[in-house]
Every structure is written in structure tokens, then in C-alpha cells.
Amino acid sequence: MKAFRSFLNATLKAGQVPAEVPGILKMRFIPIALLFAFAANGHDIITTKVTFDREIIRLFNAHCISCHREGGQAFSLATYQDARPWAKAIGAEVLERSMPPWGAVKGFGDFRDDQALTPEQLELIVDWEEGGAPEGEPKDLPPPLTESTHPGLARPADQVAISGDIKLAHALKLGALWPEKVPEGASFQITAELPDGTIYPLIWLHKYTMKFNHPFLLRVPLELPAATVVRGVPSGANIGLIPVADVPPPKYQGVRVSKNNSPPK
């Protein structure tokens, strides 16, 4: 055993089997030494061309940094050093669609602040994680993010709060929906039926959690005439219908409103 250890040390240092090792041992020794070398290296084998610096950081900036930043609600993903220890957890969470915590089914309603990942974006993240989570080259990094001057969206006094099915007494140009009270993990669909019988899907909340509560800003404001019936909000929930006049303009697209209605710091 002592002789074998000396052979192993010599091999790892010199990168080859010492000459004094008998021929039969050389055949057995090389694969064992290689296994030890890989273990000693301590790095995952890289099997993907997707890198943090070129693709992943851009996805994180667009979908995650509003919460996953220094001083945010969760651990930072702003740099490779921040994100690398969480690579496997990130892969698992995005596959389960629990992160980013958008809280709504994609395609049921159309929102300009949609944080949900597309199938192609999800595939990139999983490919990166399963392929060894490589860093890439610093030259591929995007410019540093600049802080938004977005003043924040306070819950307006003229919102229409709904719980249960209601018929609108007055016309409303809808700019956003904002959950005010939702049972933890609840899922339900909200629709608007116009007086002429036209039905619009407004939002499908899915496993919603108030911890990540935020408004859903419509990409195109929706005209709801008087006598429109809004259906689908359970009695234990409360959803605010926000007039378009109270919604930030599109140039602030993607800015997540913080819990205390102030901009991210």
C-alpha cells in the first residue's frame, strides 16, 4: 500500500506512470490515477457551450435580479461567484416553474411585465446547469445594470376591489390587476364577460404566494364597459382592478414593485 501511494503521488505530480511501475500495474494504475486526478480537481466536467457570462446573466438580469440582488429578498445572482453555488437548485426550481415566482399561467392574459421564462429560456438554464455551469469569458458580460428611477406603484384609491363575481357599475379602462389577498398557494382563473357576450381571459393565478406579491401590468389596456361581469375570484381572495391612468408607462417595463411600494434599492 505504501508503494502504491508513492506511485500515485509521483503520477499526479509528473502526469505519467513512473518507469519503475511493473507493466501489469501500469494498465490498472492509469485509470485509477485519472479518477483521483478528476476528484482532486474538484470541478464539474463541462459539456455545454452555454455560459454564465454570455447567456445566463442576461436571463437573470431580465427575470431574477429584482429579487435576487444584494439587499434584495433572496440570495444574489448578480455575479458568477454569487450564482455558481446555487446552480443545481436553480435548475430544479425553474423546471418546477416555481422560479421566477411570476405566479400566473403564461398565455392566459398578456402582461408587459411578464417574468415567466419561455421554454427556450428554461432550456438554456437547465443546459447550463446540467453541463457543468461554466463561467465563460468576461468579454461576453453585458453592461452593468443601472438603477431605475421608477417612482413605484402605490395601490391607488380608485382601484376596483373584487371578491367573488361582480358586475361593474361603471366603465373601466383596465391597466393592471393586483392581488391584495390570496390564500397561500391558491390557483384560479379570472375572466371578464362584456355586455355583448365577449369573454376576455384576464389572469390565471397559479400556486400564488403573497410573499412575492406584485401587480400584473397589461400589455394593452382593456376597455371594460359598464355591466361587464368579472368572474373567478373566490370569496377568500381580493383582487384589485387598476385603472390604466394609475399604471407606470411602458418604459418601466419589467420593474418589479417592491413590497412596501417603493422602488428597489
Residues near 251 by Cβ (< 8 Å), separated by ≥ 6?
none
Kindly calculate the radius of gyration of the chain based on its CA atoms and give it in whole angstroms: 27
Phi-psi category of 84—alpha, beta or left, where left has phi over 0 and alpha has psi -120 to 50? alpha
Bridge partners of 200, per DSSP, are 192
DSSP string, 159-212: -EEE-S-EE-SS-EEEEEEEEEE--TTEEEEEEEE-TTS-EEEEEEEEEE-GGG
pLDDT reported for residue 223: 97
Q: What is the pLDDT of residue 251?
A: 56
Which tens digit of pLDDT belongs to each residue from 51-80?
999 999 999 988 888 778 887 778 899 999
**Per-residue pLDDT in tens (0 to 9) along the chain, 265 residues:** 444 444 444 444 444 444 444 444 444 444 444 433 333 344 578 999 999 999 999 999 888 887 788 877 788 999 999 999 999 999 998 888 777 878 898 889 999 888 778 889 999 999 999 999 999 999 999 998 765 434 456 788 899 999 999 999 999 999 999 999 999 999 999 999 999 999 999 999 998 989 888 899 999 999 999 999 999 999 899 999 999 999 888 754 433 333 333 333 3
Amino acid at 160: V
Measure the CA–CA gap between 22 and 210, rounded to whole angstroms: 68
Distance CA 32, CA 147 (A): 52
Contact 29, 35 (CB under 8 A): no
The answer to whether 199 touches 192, Cβ cutoff 8 Å, is: yes
pLDDT (0 to 100) of residue 147? 58
Report which residue type is found at 190.
Answer: I
Q: Are 175 and 245 in contact (CB under 8 A)?
A: yes
Burial class (CB in 10 A: 0-12, 13-18, 19+), 189: middle
Cα 141 to the center of its chain, rounded Å: 19
User: Which structural domains are found in the chain, ordered by start?
Assistant: 2-41 (no CATH), 52-140 (no CATH), 160-252 (2.60.120)
Selection from 94, 90, 85 nearest residue 116 by Cα? 94
Containing 192, the helix (H) or strand (E) segment is: strand 186-193
Secondary structure element (H or E) that encloses residue 29, with its range = helix 23-41
SS3 state of residue 220: strand
Residues counted in the chain: 265
